[in-house]
Structure 1
Amino acid sequence: MIFSFEDIFVEQLKNFFQKGDIVLGISGSGNSKNVLKAIEYANQHGGITIGLTGYDGGRLKEMVCYGVHIPIDDMQIAEDLHMVLDHCMMKILCNYNSCY
């Protein structure tokens, strides 16, 4: 079976997702179809969705349960700030779960 790039994340969720899982979607524009499809799937199957967006937030900003919107029209800066947040979340989660 052949899948398109738009299905890359949703197909992974179909195999591993469980109700109540947290799904994080990151899209500078907020309109990346592969991210939107995964968030839609998670929402429909009882997931907790979080979105990191830039620009005007696109569709992702409206779809997620919780969102962090970087209101800037510069992809590089939006992505850099998303990475700072990613590192902070991992530090918090790993300390909570004793990853180190």
Structure 2
Amino acid sequence: MNIPTADRIRDAFLETSRNFAAFAEQTGPVAVAAGLMIEGLRGGGKVLFCGNGGSAADSQHLAAELTGRYLHDRPPLAAVALTVDSSALTAIANDYSYDEVFARQVRALGRAGDVLVGISTSGNSRNVVAALEAARALGLRTVGLTGAGGGRMAELCDVCIRVPSTDTPRIQEMHIAAGHMLCELVETAFL
């Protein structure tokens, strides 16, 4: 049986720790994103989330934190993960293209005053980029969660939360932490 070495485990945890320490110095984008979400929800809008793979799971997780509860009992907040309707996803991918699976849903469900949160470790996921383009055309506010470079998403977002890493697993760890902080700030505003 191959047991991972203590050095490998320690190195991974220390890298994560360094990334979080660097991220802690970049609070501005998280605060601005939370403000956009609060403003949209107070105005009767909703928060839409999209991403692929682990980012799809994060989309569902964060939408659930808002519609359910994060830390406190409070009225439910309007949030939708565009990643969960398998019939819509497969029909749109089949009839149009996979690049359109989120953009078409944004055009169907999104309204000016809503907020779209796109999640992509590279910042270049074509279907997330297309969703952000559709959102901007409709007057939605846009938030991105990306890796250090920001990719194409950086230019399409009102605020892009770029976590300080280029390593996919480390980026994903910070995305969920940033998402939890967004949910905490939003929830606090509605208590």
With the shorter chain as reference, the TM-score category is 0.7 to 0.9
Residue of structure 1 aligned with 2:138, choices 27, 30, 45: 45
Distance 1:3 1:93 in 2: 35
For 2:125, the equivalent position in structure 1 comes to 32
- By how many angstroms is 1:29 displaced? 0.2
Structure 1 regions of 5+ residues with no counterpart? Answer: none
TM-score of the pair, normalised by structure 2: 0.48
- In terms of mean alpha carbon deviation, does 88-97 or 54-63 score higher? 88-97
For 2:173, the equivalent position in structure 1 comes to 80
For 1:13, the equivalent position in structure 2 comes to 106
Secondary structure of the residue that 2:169 maps to in structure 1?
helix
Question: Deviating runs (4+, > 3 A) in structure 1?
Answer: none
Secondary structure of the residue that 2:103 maps to in structure 1?
helix
Distance 1:92 1:40 in 2: 26
**Bigger CA radius of gyration:** 2
- Are 1:39 and 1:64, in contact at CA under 8 Å, matched by a contact in 2? yes
- Over the matched positions of the two proteins, sequence identity in percent amounts to 32
- By how many angstroms is 1:8 displaced? 1.4
Distance 1:71 1:95 in 2: 26
Secondary structure of the residue that 2:101 maps to in structure 1?
helix
Structure 2 regions of 5+ residues with no counterpart? Answer: 1-90
- Please say if 1:91 is aligned against 2:91: no
- By how many angstroms is 1:4 displaced? 2.2
For 2:162, the equivalent position in structure 1 comes to 69
- By how many angstroms is 1:52 displaced? 0.9
Structure 1 vs Structure 2 CA RMSD: 1.5
